Amino acid sequence: MNRIIDYKNLSEQIEKWIKNYAQSNGIETLVIGVSGGIDSAVVSTLCSRTGIPTIAVGMPLNSKPENTRLSNLQLDFLSKLNVQTIEVELSDTFKSFENTIPHHFKSELASANSKSRLRMMTLYHIAANRKGIIVGTGNKVEDFGVGFFTKYGDGGVDISPIADLYKTEVRELGRYLGIPQDIINATPTDGLWDDDRNDEEQIGATYEELEWVMEYGVEKISYTEKEYNITKIFETFNKKNNHKMVPIPIFILKENEIIWK
């Protein structure tokens, strides 16, 4: 994107924002799930710089070796920043859960989402024992563009420090923060599937392309064929996942429309 950002200043602003929220709400601990991706790496590092006790949690769940390696790389990086790092192995727990579900209620998509929700439960359990909050790791495209997250899974958080930053901006912030280069260079993936599919393969477009749509494409009058296709991909995901990105519908009682006995 073409937004000109002073990443030192951005880092300081986000750290101050997190700290102010925690102090205003009596929060004693920040809890973050560390996946091995750039988003969670940046958020966990920002939390470490607030001075608030921070717990970074690795949660392998039938994870691919590379995902586990990158997660452990970030946890090791954080351990040098006085962050408490723990690993909670969830593979057996998830297997036990799946074995309790009747066969006709099983599907690949349901399993992927349940993995994310199990991780969310784990983080909230840890946070509840430390008067903590869950710090979200979603970026702008995921949270407000295509809704590329699991409802009540990785979308189940208390605050979202990077939800107004594009993925490319998160990477640049990661460079400023000294995030390990392997994590910065890693292909984005949610790690929820049994195969090696990545985010681009699931969506059909890169984050850079989706960022272009959010900034310029939706209001554009004429498109190249590639621009048109990318815009349609964005619009399809945005419409399909809109329910994740808006408040839960609530029935409003209007007394003047009720026939009272």
CATH code, domain with 18: 3.40.50.620
Domain annotation covers residue 122: yes
What pLDDT, on the 0 to 100 scale, is given for residue 63?
92
Domain annotation covers residue 255: no
Give pLDDT tens digits for 28-53.
Answer: 999 999 999 999 999 999 999 999 99
Domain annotation covers residue 180: yes
Domain annotation covers residue 251: no
Domain annotation covers residue 147: yes
Domain annotation covers residue 103: yes
Domain annotation covers residue 16: yes
* Listed residue (171, 134, 143) closest to 38, CA to CA: 171
Give pLDDT tens digits for 199-244.
Answer: 999 999 999 999 999 998 777 767 899 999 999 999 999 999 999 9
What pLDDT, on the 0 to 100 scale, is given for residue 261?
57
Give pLDDT tens digits for 153-206.
Answer: 999 999 999 999 999 999 999 999 999 999 999 999 998 988 889 999 999 999
Count of all residues that appear for the chain in the document: 261
Domain annotation covers residue 260: no
Number of domains in the chain: 1
Residue 68: which domain range?
7-245
